[in-house]
Each structure stands twice: as C-alpha cells, then as structure tokens.
Structure 1
Amino acid sequence: MKWNLPRYSAKDHLILSFFVGPFTISINSLLLGSRYFSDWSVFFLATVVAAADFSIGFIICLMIGVWLRRLFKGEEGIGVRLLLMIFVFLIMTIVFLLILFYGYEWIPFFHYQFDDLSFAWACIGTGIYVVFITFLIEGLARYEIWKNKMKENEQLSRMNRQSRLQGLKSQVNPHFLFNSLNSLSSLIDTDEDSAEKFLDEMSKVYRYMLRTEEESLVSLAAELNFIGSYYYLLKERYGDGLLVEIDVLPADLDKCLPPLTLQTIVENAFTQNVMMKDQPLMIRIGRDQEGLVIRNNVQPKTITEDQDVESGIDNLVTRYSLLHQAQIRILDSRNEREVKVPLFKPQKSAAL
C-alpha cells in the first residue's frame, strides 16, 4: 500500500527522508548522551521513537501548510502565509518536543529525567531546522509551480503553432489554391474590381495568420474581421451553398479568444457537411450567457476513414484547457451542432 503524504510540494517525502536522520541523532544525543551510541537496544528504540515523533509532526505541519496555502493564495498572500506557517510550526515543534521529552521520562527503559536546559537547547536547534525547512518547502513548491507554468506555456505555444499550421494547410492545399486561382482568373476576365477585392481579402487572411503567430489571445473584433475575409474567399468557392451570419454584442468585441478559433469551427462545419444552393450550410455566430455560440445545420457528407475531421476541434479544446478557461462545449443533435466558446476578459496584449 502506498503512503501518500499531504502534498505541499512534489519533494515533501524527500525532505522528510533527508532531515529525519539528523534530527533523530541530534535529539537523542542531547537526551541520552553516550548511552545512545553504546547500548544498541537504547539506540534502536530511541531512534524509532524520535523518528516517529518527527515524522508525525512533519506530516501535521504539512497539513497545516496546505490549508494555509489554500487560505492565502497567490503572490499577495505569500508573506502572511510564511509568517503564519513559521509561527504555527514553531508552536508544533515545542508540543512535539514536550511529547518526546516526557515520553522518554515515562519510559523506564531510558532512565531519563526531564531537563529544562536540554529542552531549551532542543527548542532552539529544532526551531532553526523548522524555519529552514519551511523556506525550503515553500521554495520547492514555487519552483514546481513555475516549472508547470513553463510547461503549460510550451504546450500552449505548440498547440497554437499546430493550429496555425492547420489553418494554413486549409488555405494552401492544392484544391483550395486551384479553386481560388480559378475564381481569381474568372474575375480578372469579367470584373477587375472584384478580382482586386478577392486578392485583397486573401492577403488579409494571410496577414492575420502571420500577425497572430506569437499571440495566445486576440480580440473578438479582430477574429470577426478575419472571419469576414475568410468567408469572402469561401463564398467565391461555394457560392450560395454556404451562409454565415454574425450577431454579437458590441460590448463583447473587446473580449478575447485564441486566434483562429472561429476559423477552426467554421472549417470543421463545412468539412463535414454538404453545401448546395438549395441546401445551404447555415453557420450562425451568436451569443448567450456562457459566451459565443456557433451553430450549424447538420447535412453530413461521406467522409473517408483516413480523414480526421475533428482534429481541429480537439486542438481548440486543448488550447482552452491550457489557458485555464472554462471548457468548450459541443452539443450535437440530429439536425444541428452547437459549439459554445467562452470568452476571456479584455487584455492589453491581445492582438487588435
């Protein structure tokens, strides 16, 4: 059976293992003197008793420390938390030293009598131990938090790069380029103004992707502007087979979301559904109490087994979880898919 300590940091068990030996030897040397080393029966029993006393006290202090960390969270609470931890731990140290000293006196085998001077020195020495251990476990805990944040940032960066790659792949695959260039060629012959507009919207799509390369969040306004350009290109490709409606609150435009979020959802919709003039794919981007809601009617088309049509959505869900935002919710019914996307509070660093 595995013994699980209250967890203040990942190295708590190592700290206990490292300090239990020096504490046990120093305390028993102070209390029992040379008898501790000359009599093996005394050495064994005293070592077990002192080690058990230290270990139990250590575990109880860890439990108190974990509770104080939950009570005083973040950078603003660290000073008060450390002061309270040291104060409480010192009180606990005195209590457990009293238990140990009187325990030795109560066990006739040790032939020990309580000594005030020895107790005072034990309190001073163990108190130094306690202060050092307190700062050590706090430092290790903060290092662990920092390392986890670095790992999450690295994962988020990787997911963002993967998302941008998927977005670019959807735009630069041969089929898309063929249709886009074919549309552009037709427009050049028939309507130069429309051809110029098409080329301008296409450049906006790529410019947005490149500009948000290092951004973890963008404003909803920027994302909707991008979707406008992206929809323009798709409209030339699918005509009246694809319709996108946007109805969001002006107050939400400054809120944020990961870049290419809407593009991922829109692409997922037209990848999985049939689009025809008499059966258009309707994509509605709206709002409810939870955030954005993207709905599309379901008109499933035949998809081969080697097509991973949900990879983009899976990527998006992972990015949201790494950003510690409320989870994306996907609700499927027979006739409609609904994707609920939470919005972040406005941030100065978000791309505009």
Structure 2
Amino acid sequence: MALKRYSNKEPLVFIWVMIPYIIFLNLLVFGSCVYHSLKLVAQSFLYTGLFMFAIYFFFGIVATFIQRRFPSAGEMFKRIAAMLPVFYLLNCIAVSVLFYLYNWLQPLACNPRPGMLGWSILYACIMSTIITFINEGVANWEAWKASITETEQLKNVYQRSRVLGLKGQINPHFLFNCFNTLSGLIQEDTEKAEQFLDEMTKVHRYLLRSDEELLVSLEMEMKFAASYLYLAKERFGVAIQYSIDINKQSVHKKLPPLSMQVILENIIYTNALSKSDPLSITISADGGDSLAIVNSIHEKIVLQNYDIDDGLDNLINKYQMLNAGNVTIQEQDNKRILLLPLFDDKAVLL
C-alpha cells in the first residue's frame, strides 16, 4: 500500500490494522514460543514489522499503478479485482521470504514452524483483502463527503449570486437614474423615450428571468449588455463609448447569468466619467473559449458607499466552484482586460 494512496486516513488505517496483523502473524510463524518473554515479543514485532512495512511499499506501487488505470469512484470493483490477485502473489513471495530470513539469520530464540507456511500465506492474503476493502471504503466515503461539500459550496455561491442579482434589480440608484433619464426624454423626444422604456423593460425582464438559471447563452447575455449599455449611454451621453463584436461561433456558448451586469456595473461605478475623456468599453469574442471585456481606466476619487467589487469577487468565486477556468483580470496601458471563460454548449456541470 502506498501511504496516502487510498485516502487521507490510509496511514491511520495501516497502523491500526498492522498492529494486530503482525502480532497474529508472529503467532502463526513461531507459535507460543515467541510469547515466552516480553523481549521476544518486542523483537519479533520489530523485525516482522519492519519487514512487512518494506514489503508493503511494493504493494503501494501496484496500487498506485492500478488506481491510475481505474481512477473514478465507479470503478472501485475493477480496482479491487485487479489489485487482489497481484497482492496474493506478493503475499506468497513475502511470507516465504520472511520464513527463509528467520531460518537463515535466526535473530530470535524461536524458529519458524515449517508446517505453518501455508497458513501464514493464507492469513496474509485475507488481511490484504480486508485492508484493501477498508481503504477503498474510506476513500469513497471521503470522496462522497467532498462532493457533498462542493455541492453545498456551489449552492451557497449561487444563492449569494441571486441575492446580488436581486440587489441590482431593486437598486434605488439604478431605478432613480433610469426614471430620471426617461422623464427628461419624454419632454425632449417621445420617440427616444419609447425606445429607452423598451430597453429598460428588456433589462429588467432579463434580470427577473435569468436569476433562476444555471447557465445562459452568450447571445442572451449580449442582448442584455446591449440594452444595459444603451441605458447607460442615454444617461451619460458621450462620456461612455462602447462596442460589441461577437463571432457567430461564440453566440451559443454558455456563461453564468447576470455576469455582464456584474462586470458592467463594476466598470461604470468604479471609473470617473467625463465628456472630455470618455470611458471606453469593448466586448468581444472571436470564437475561442473566452469573452474579452476591455475598458479604459479613469481613476475615480470618490466611490459609491457600497462595495461594488463584491459582485465581481462573487463571479470569480463562482467560476472557481464550477471548475470552469479562472476569470483573469489584467491592467496595462491605462486599460483593464477581463477574460471570462465560456462553457461549451454541451458542457454538463452538475
């Protein structure tokens, strides 16, 4: 057995099982002779223990090799079926060598009983079977607990995401600014006011709809982003410039819902906006495995009184939980580049 091969508890299992294993093996090999004194008991336990510990190093090599061939939890019985015959052969060799060494070196006052070689080999094979099943059971138990923990963590991340999404839906500043802009457009240009109201409806409809979904298509997120940026541009005018360029091969790829809301809010509320130095936002996907969001950096001295980075941190944690690659953020030449991994259309996460 290789230490830490089966599970984190494998060394502990090895110690607790090997103590009675060695004691009873010595009894089979030497009979009651070895228990005539504490010195003989200690010496026989030490010698046999060191020998078996060294032998089980080779068991570990075999176990590691077979585990690599059949790594999944569902292949447990394949692993066991492949391991045990090799373990039985190793036990035959190991116990035979143990008898030979004791007879040759004679380190103890007791000699091995020749008639007990077969019984000792049988006992060693039985113990190998028991140890193998115990370690596999512990390993599968730990794997099950780990999967439960990951599932709970993923649920927590999504629950937090839903709460953050809900904050965006009912943010009084967001609603106030939209209605304030709409009020001004009604007085100035009723046609623009109707379009603004239409885009505002699309944004809020998407926020309400997508909050319950695990993944949405990039096409849907881009429609939301276009409407969201339209509202922002109507509010800030030429202080915001944006472009969206999505390759047709990318539109059906997936990403977590409301990702663009989190990213765009972070960009807009953490940068200073001015007509003389517009905030530039570029969203693009070239058919690869990521969505690129590039924005110019305009240092803002006074930020909002709430942590706008909380949503972005939550999005990064969500990707980590989904094992979907890392969200990467780079800053260079007064611009920030955010690369958001995209899921393949056929990807199954849970």
What TM-score bracket applies, with the shorter chain setting the length? 0.7 to 0.9
In structure 2, what is the Cα distance between the partners aligned to 1:57 and 1:222? 61
Matched residue, 2:117 = 119
The partner residue of 2:227 within 229, 237, 243 is: 229
In structure 2, what is the Cα distance between the partners aligned to 1:141 and 1:187? 65
The partner residue of 2:153 within 152, 155, 160 is: 155
Matched residue, 1:327 = 326
In structure 1, what is the Cα distance between the partners aligned to 2:68 and 2:177? 57
Matched residue, 2:294 = 295
User: How many residue pairs align between the two structures?
Assistant: 346
Structure 1 residues 73, 20: closer, same or farther in 2, change over 3 A?
closer
TM-score (norm 1): 0.85
In structure 2, what is the Cα distance between the partners aligned to 1:18 and 1:335? 62
1:339 maps to a residue whose letter is L
Q: 1:26 and 2:38 equivalent?
A: no
Instruction: Quote the offset at 1:30 in angstroms.
Output: 0.8
Alignment of 1:129-278 (within 5 A): 129-187=127-185, 195=193, 197-278=195-276
Instruction: Quote the offset at 1:309 in angstroms.
Output: 4.4
Instruction: Quote the offset at 1:100 in angstroms.
Output: 2.4
Instruction: Quote the offset at 1:277 in angstroms.
Output: 3.3
1:124 maps to a residue whose letter is L
Structure 1 residues 300, 258: closer, same or farther in 2, change over 3 A?
same
TM-score (norm 2): 0.86
1:311 maps to a residue whose letter is D
Over the residues paired in the alignment, what is the CA RMSD in angstroms?
A: 2.9
Structure 1, 57-66 or 243-252: larger mean CA deviation:
57-66
Structure 1 residues 212, 129: closer, same or farther in 2, change over 3 A?
farther
In structure 1, what is the Cα distance between the partners aligned to 2:165 and 2:149? 24
2:143 maps to a residue whose letter is I
Matched residue, 2:310 = 311
In structure 1, what is the Cα distance between the partners aligned to 2:167 and 2:207? 12
Alpha carbons 1:261, 1:316 under 8 Å: kept: yes
Alpha carbons 1:16, 1:55 under 8 Å: kept: no
SS at match of 1:250: coil
Matched residue, 2:15 = 17
In structure 1, what is the Cα distance between the partners aligned to 2:99 and 2:202? 78
Structure 1 residues 195, 305: closer, same or farther in 2, change over 3 A?
closer
2:119 maps to a residue whose letter is W
Alpha carbons 2:211, 2:258 under 8 Å: kept: no
Structure 1 residues 78, 224: closer, same or farther in 2, change over 3 A?
farther
* Per-residue Cα deviation, 1:103-148 (whole angstroms, up to 9, x for no partner): 3223422431452x42222222221221232232223222222322
In structure 2, what is the Cα distance between the partners aligned to 1:241 and 1:305? 18
Structure 1, 132-141 or 75-84: larger mean CA deviation:
75-84
Alpha carbons 2:241, 2:279 under 8 Å: kept: yes
In structure 2, what is the Cα distance between the partners aligned to 1:303 and 1:272? 9
Q: Any unmatched runs of 5+ in structure 1?
A: none
Matched residue, 1:85 = 83
In structure 1, what is the Cα distance between the partners aligned to 2:236 and 2:203? 17
SS at match of 1:332: strand
Structure 1 residues 145, 205: closer, same or farther in 2, change over 3 A?
farther
Structure 1 residues 305, 208: closer, same or farther in 2, change over 3 A?
closer
Structure 1 residues 212, 55: closer, same or farther in 2, change over 3 A?
farther
* Per-residue Cα deviation, 1:210-248 (whole angstroms, up to 9, x for no partner): 444444332212222222332233233323322332112
Counting aligned pairs with the same residue, the percent is: 35
In structure 2, what is the Cα distance between the partners aligned to 1:304 and 1:190? 31
2:294 maps to a residue whose letter is R
